Chains A and B, each alone.
Chain A
Amino acid sequence: MPERIVVPFGPQHPVLPEPIHLDLVLEDETVVDVVPSIGYIHRGLEKLVTKREYPEFVHVAERICGICSFMHGMAYVQGIEAIMDVEVPDRARYLRTIWAECSRLHSHLLWLGLFADAMGFENLFMRSWQLRESVLDVLEDTTGGRVIQGTCKVGGVRRDIKGEKLSDIQKTLPEFEQQCRDLTDVFLNDESVKYRLGGLGVIGKSEAYDLGAAGPTLRGSGVDWDARCLGYAAYADLDFKPVSHPAGDCYARCAVRLGELFTSIDLINQAVEKMPEGPIDVKVTGAPDGEYFCRVEQPRGEVVHYLKGDGTKHLTRARVRTPTLANIPPLVKMLPGCQLADVPVIVLSIDPCISCTER
């Protein structure tokens, strides 16, 4: 039997964007066992809910994650609105949709870059991040923040996008879409990329469903489940189909995210076209009394915000189940049997966001 060595992978490792620790048991270069552990960046954000008044906690909720920031804020305010039965104005719902889809675009482009870097394709990494920059510019122009938007509030949104700006955004979409197509061509058709991704970390359809996988990890295995179909924000009025890919390997997960780029572009386009006029927020009085599980589709998958209030200004409990936590079981299933060189690719393929996971 070959000698077994244990390679510590993380919490600080150049190919890992965030601190997850994996003990990889190797035989030569084949991974035979993997033991994950987390807990390096717990910040106690859930506890803060008892220290901040519920309208202010949205700023904290947004900072659960630096990438899916907007959607954490959105999930939180939607939860509060559901408890308090607040009817959000239509324009606010559409604006939220636009910002959520911009966030998804920038998150996916960020991920594509990191993924390219994990397989040693530096130029593709640079290109993905270059495209991401144009999305960040739009976000900055419309919200004032590049990654932390801070525009959601209970009862609506804090900022409006003027009609002029909306059509400006729409005008830039076709060119951006073309650039995304060029990027997609490299990811899906380049032989060296295909060699690195094909048949790697396969999770079958029923297995992914049973493991409780979320987001592109689930859809990459052929299950077209997308929390956006719940119809929150303006998604019920817009026309879209969840992107899925049957193969279940790293290539499929990559293809799903690339497909979602175009879904997002299309959704932004639709939202701009259908954008209703009207107020952007309603005044919210009182305090939440009740509980709610709010589910939102983040770039990484479905996030669950569990919120409970007792009629005071401070919620009594908040709990966030992030998509990364749900995707750890599939990851533990994927890794054994792969090559050491493929570990970063497989780990990245679930798009781990550890600071989300630990709150």
Chain B
Amino acid sequence: MTAKEQTIIEIPVTDLLERTRKLHGDGYRLVQIGCTGLAESYEINYSFDKEYRFQNLRITVAPGEEVPSISGIYWGAFVYENEMHDLFGIPVTGMNIDFQGAMIRTGEKHPFSVTRKGEGPCRNA
């Protein structure tokens, strides 16, 4: 099945814009930007698709490290980037629509941040 083919390319943050621009030029569609926290850093996957070929660019950033916005290339990237900022506290620079932390309403700032102290009480447990 072709469905299983997917590539993940690890790249440094500095290459992000250039490679994204190249993918955009090749006619790739932005599928998602997914951020997940590792132990001490964040892993961000930029997923693209063209005619069912699935490509991922992966960057790893330390807390507080700035990530350039790709919203200049893919206009719709702002939802994912605001999410990265609102939930994980990753500073994303140069977003086309910057909600300043107001897109996702959270009880506390950056709830998914890896530097956040403690686990926080879970009310239902």
Residues of A within 8 Å of B54, CB to CB, are 293, 295
Is there contact, CB below 8 Å, between B75 and A210? yes
A333-B52 Cα distance, complex, nearest whole Å: 26
B79 contacts A by Cβ under 8 Å: yes
Residue-wise interface mask of A (63-101) relative to B, using a CB-CB cutoff of 8 A (1 in contact, 0 not): 000000000000000000010000000000000000000
- CB within 8 A of A232: which of B3, B47, B80, B103? B3
Report which of A37, A232, A292, A304 forms a contact with B31, defined as CB distance below 8 A.
Answer: A304
A317 within 8 A of B: yes
B76 touches A293 (CB 8 A): no
* A36, A210, A329: residue with the most chain B Cβ atoms closer than 10 Å: A329
CB contact under 8 A between A212 and B76, given known A37-B103, A306-B45, A317-B36:
yes
Given the complex, which residues of B lie within 8 Å of A293, measured CB to CB? 6, 45, 47, 54, 56
Q: Given A37-B103, A295-B54, A330–B34 Cβ distance below 8 Å?
A: no
Q: How far is the CA of A308 from the CA of B34 in the complex (A)?
A: 13
Cβ of A262 under 8 Å from chain B: no
B90 within 8 A of A: no
Q: Which of A38, A210, A306 contacts B34 (CB 8 A)?
A: A306
Given A304-B34, A321-B34, A328-B79: A37 and B102 interface contact (C-beta under 8 Å): yes
Cα distance, A292 to B4, chains bound together (Å): 9
Q: With A40-B105, A231-B2 in contact, is A325–B79 under 8 Å at CB? A: yes
| A39 interface contact, C-beta 8 A | yes
Q: Kindly state whether residue A236 has any CB partner on chain B within 8 Å.
A: yes
Taking the complex as formed, is A211 at the interface, i.e. its CB lies under 8 A from any CB of chain B? yes
Q: Report Cα–Cα, A332/B78, bound state, in Å.
A: 11
Tell me the smallest distance from the CB of A335 to a CB of chain B, in Å.
Answer: 13
Any B CB within 8 A of the CB of A209: yes
Please tell me if the beta carbons of B31 and A212 are within 8 angstroms of each other in the complex. yes
| Interface size bracket, B side | 20 to 34
Given the known A-B contacts A293-B6, A321-B31, are A330 and B76 also in contact in the complex, defined by CB atoms under 8 Å?
yes
A290 to chain B, nearest CB (A): 11
8 Å CB interface, B51-96 against A? 52, 54, 56, 74-80, 83, 86
B2 touching A230, Cβ below 8 Å: yes
Report the minimal beta-carbon distance from B93 to chain A, rounded to whole angstroms: 19
CA distance A236 to B30 in the complex (A): 24
Instruction: Collect the chain A residues with CB atoms within 8 Å of residue B115's CB.
Output: none
Return the CB mask of A209-242 against B: 1 if under 8 Å, else 0.
Answer: 1111100000000000100011110001000000
Give the distance in Å from the alpha carbon of A328 to the alpha carbon of B80 in the complex.
10
Beta-carbon contact of A329 and B105 below 8 Å: no
> Is the Cβ of B75 less than 8 Å from the Cβ of A211?
yes
Q: Across the interface, do B74 and A210 meet the contact criterion of CB distance under 8 Å? A: yes
- Which of chain B's residues has its CB closest to A333's CB? B75
The answer to whether B103 and A210 touch across the interface, beta carbons within 8 angstroms, is: no
Q: Are B1 and A236 in contact (CB under 8 A)?
A: yes
In whole angstroms, how far apart are the Cα atoms of A39 and B30 in the complex? 23
Closest chain A residue to B52 by CB distance?
A230
Cα distance A326–B31 in the bound complex, in angstroms: 8
Q: List 13 A-B contacts (CB under 8 A).
A: A38-B104, A40-B105, A210-B75, A211-B75, A232-B3, A236-B1, A304-B31, A325-B32, A325-B79, A326-B31, A326-B32, A326-B79, A330-B76
Given A37-B104, A236-B1, 11 more pairs with CB closer than 8 A: A35-B102, A213-B76, A230-B3, A293-B56, A302-B31, A304-B34, A317-B36, A321-B32, A326-B31, A328-B76, A329-B78
| Chain A residues within CB distance 8 Å of chain B | 21, 35-40, 42, 82, 209-213, 225, 229-232, 236, 291-293, 295, 302, 304, 306, 308, 317, 319, 321, 325-326, 328-330, 332-333, 358
Which 10 residue pairs of A and B lie closest in terms of their CB atoms, listed nearest first? A329-B76, A39-B105, A39-B104, A321-B32, A211-B76, A230-B3, A212-B30, A212-B76, A319-B34, A328-B79
